């Protein structure tokens, strides 16, 4: 369990689609949306663990076609979110006349369900996480300890918990930087655009990436 936790931590802290998406959300919308994105993304990772425990994850991970479909679906969705962020980067900035703090607060008022759905979709369509979970989790299963599916689920929960802590810390750091930009509507507009470009770029990179044998 300790060995798996250490390996999972190393994999999680390496910037990937999910991490960069969360940072981009923090730069766009602040602490609330960033932390909720962390939660939604972790939910997607739990789905991967459930699929692996059921034996479906290994089939998907071993299929080149499924990998391509998944990475293009996830990449296209990230590009869509990035474009939307850039297009609506000025939304809510009109309230800046009442004060920069009010402007920042208004920009953060997005429906919680929408934030969670977007981040969950990004997490569940991340093929690299699915491949890691399908390839690594079964190696830490000990048949003498208990049912393999139960151990895989437990390891999946541990993986998601580590991601919650690590990604949450990064989200708070990025959101702290964003707070400084929120003092100026012009700076905030540029920051939101930068966050959108980051998210869209991650989608392009994901679609262009190749599967590691």
Residue 70 lies in a domain: yes
Residue 32 lies in a domain: yes
- What pLDDT does residue 95 have? 44
55: left (phi over 0), alpha (psi -120 to 50) or beta: left
The Cα 88–Cα 5 span in angstroms is 39
Q: Is the pLDDT of residue 107 over 70?
A: no
Local confidence band at 182 (pLDDT 50, 70, 90 cut-offs): low
**Residue ranges making up the domain that contains 128:** 18-208
* Residue 175 · residue 34 · CB < 8 Å: yes
pLDDT tens by residue, 52-80: 888 887 777 777 788 788 888 888 988 98
Lowest mean pLDDT among 13-27, 37-51, 89-103: 89-103
Sorted by sequence, the CB contacts under 8 Å of residue 113 that are 6+ apart come out as none
The average confidence (pLDDT) of the chain is: 81
111: left (phi over 0), alpha (psi -120 to 50) or beta: beta
Q: How many domains does the chain have?
A: 1
Q: Is the pLDDT of residue 97 over 80?
A: no
Residues constituting the chain:
213
Q: Is the pLDDT of residue 101 over 80?
A: no
Residue 6 lies in a domain: no
The Cα 5–Cα 85 span in angstroms is 35
pTM of the model: 0.77
* Tokens describing residue 94: 């009109």
* Residue 13 · residue 134 · CB < 8 Å: no
Cβ atoms within 10 Å, residue 139: 9
Residue 168 lies in a domain: yes
The Cα 194–Cα 209 span in angstroms is 22
Give the best-scoring range by mean pLDDT among 6-15, 99-108, 183-192. Answer: 6-15
Residue 1 lies in a domain: no
Residue 12 lies in a domain: no
pLDDT tens by residue, 110-145: 788 999 999 999 999 888 788 888 888 888 888 888
- What pLDDT does residue 162 have? 93
Write the CA distances from 126 to 46, 130, 141, 145, integer angstroms.
Answer: 12, 7, 23, 30
Residue 107 lies in a domain: yes
């Amino acid at each position: 369990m300790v060995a798996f936790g250490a390996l999972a931590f190393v994999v999680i802290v390496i910037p990937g689609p999910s991490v960069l998406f969360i940072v981009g959300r923090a730069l766009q919308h602040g602490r609330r949306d960033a932390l909720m994105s962390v939660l939604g993304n972790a939910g997607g990772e739990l789905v991967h663990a459930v699929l692996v425990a059921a034996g479906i994850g290994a089939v998907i991970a071993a299929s080149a076609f499924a990998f391509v479909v998944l990475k293009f679906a996830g990449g296209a969705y990230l590009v869509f979110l990035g474009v939307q962020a850039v297009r609506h980067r000025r939304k809510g900035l009109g309230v800046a006349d009442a004060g920069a703090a009010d402007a920042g607060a208004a920009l953060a008022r997005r429906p919680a369900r929408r934030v969670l759905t977007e981040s969950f979709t990004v997490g569940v369509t991340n093929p690299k996480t699915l491949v890691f979970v399908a390839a690594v989790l079964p190696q830490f299963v000990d048949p003498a300890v208990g049912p393999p599916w139960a151990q895989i689920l437990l390891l999946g929960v541990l993986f998601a918990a580590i991601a919650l802590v690590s990604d949450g810390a990064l989200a708070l750091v990025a959101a702290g930087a964003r707070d400084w930009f929120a003092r100026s509507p012009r700076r905030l507009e540029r920051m939101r655009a930068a966050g959108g470009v980051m998210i869209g770029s991650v989608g392009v990179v994901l679609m262009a990436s190749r599967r590691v044998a």
